[in-house]
């Protein structure tokens, strides 16, 4: 289901609907109390199957999804959600290994929180992810041709590689858009993190590296030898200056 962003549905913008999925009642209670205090509306699910039904029937603005659940764990639940729906998902887990985080992000999670977490962190991350999702509005220029091989469609958040459409996740698209808007300039790590994920994420360089890799796999002819997204060691990333190249100037790597 290619849903509209939360700001475009017919419920009050100031009261997003959050689905909390966890098999521990005390965790659901903790999350519910703190989110409702900040004006969010909350619905609950105790397992993955119930969560899938709630996503389909209630169309929440966000899902907070526990990883460690009986029968169908959070990873499998997320995989099934992503088959039909683009709702923002934050994974909740006691497991903090990088491999688990990467697995969740690979499956389409928008963020990953390790238990225990503070009420302030919970609310901050929920708001940050909602802001990212709500800001995916069409640009004035719908189709931008980088070169004969690569074009970016700002209306559909897709890229065209050799004429074939490649769907980007919302976060991938936001990152690519930030790089394109600053083409030819090195954008610092902290700037990209703040602009794409929110100020709360300005030190999460591992997120940035992971999503740069995702983008390169989707748009580069050879991700190991990028032609579009360049790494500036210790500084940030730079998108090819396609405007200078189209006017005849050379692009150094």
Residue ranges per structural domain of the chain? 6-134, 143-246
Topology of domain 6-134, CATH? Rossmann fold (3.40.50)
Give the pLDDT of residue 44.
Answer: 96
User: Which helix (H) or strand (E) is 100 found in, with range?
Assistant: helix 98-106
Give the dihedral sign, CA 200/207/16/67.
Answer: negative
Q: 143-246 architecture in CATH?
A: Orthogonal Bundle (1.10)
> What confidence tier does 82 reach under pLDDT thresholds 50, 70, 90?
confident
Q: What is the dihedral of CA 48, 54, 59, 63, to 10 degrees?
A: -40
Helix%, strand%, coil% for the chain, nearest 5? 40, 20, 40
User: Which helix (H) or strand (E) is 190 found in, with range?
Assistant: helix 189-196
Cα–Cα distances (Å) from 185 to 192, 212, 214, 228, in that order, read 12, 16, 21, 12
pTM over 0.75: no
Is there a common fold for 6-134 and 143-246? no
Q: What is the pLDDT of residues 179-213, one digit of tens each?
A: 998 888 899 999 899 888 887 788 889 989 999 99
Residue range 42-55: mean pLDDT, rounded = 94
What's phi and psi for 174, nearest 5 deg?
-60, -40
């Amino acid at each position: 289901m290619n849903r509209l962003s939360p700001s475009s549905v017919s419920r009050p913008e100031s009261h997003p609907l959050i689905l909390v999925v966890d098999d521990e009642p005390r965790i659901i209670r903790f999350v519910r109390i703190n989110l409702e205090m900040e004006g969010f509306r909350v619905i609950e699910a105790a397992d993955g199957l119930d969560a899938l039904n709630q996503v389909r029937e209630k169309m929440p603005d966000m899902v907070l999804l526990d990883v460690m659940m009986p029968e169908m764990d959070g990873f499998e639940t997320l995989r099934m959600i992503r088959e039909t729906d683009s709702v923002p998902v934050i994974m909740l887990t006691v497991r903090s290994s990088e491999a688990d985080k990467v697995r969740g992000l690979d499956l389409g999670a928008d963020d990953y929180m390790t238990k225990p977490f503070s009420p302030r962190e919970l609310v901050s991350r929920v708001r940050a992810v909602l802001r990212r999702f709500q800001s995916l509005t069409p640009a004035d220029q719908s189709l931008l041709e980088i070169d004969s091989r690569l074009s970016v469609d700002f209306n559909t958040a897709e890229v065209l590689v050799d004429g074939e459409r490649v769907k980007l996740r919302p976060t991938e698209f936001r990152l690519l858009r930030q790089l394109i808007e600053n083409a030819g300039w090195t954008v610092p790590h902290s700037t990209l993190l703040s602009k794409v994920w929110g100020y709360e994420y300005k030190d999460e360089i591992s997120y940035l590296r992971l999503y740069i890799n995702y983008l390169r796999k989707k748009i580069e002819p050879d991700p190991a030898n990028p032609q579009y997204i360049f790494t500036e060691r210790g500084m940030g990333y730079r998108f090819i200056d396609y405007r200078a190249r189209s006017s005849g100037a050379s692009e150094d790597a």
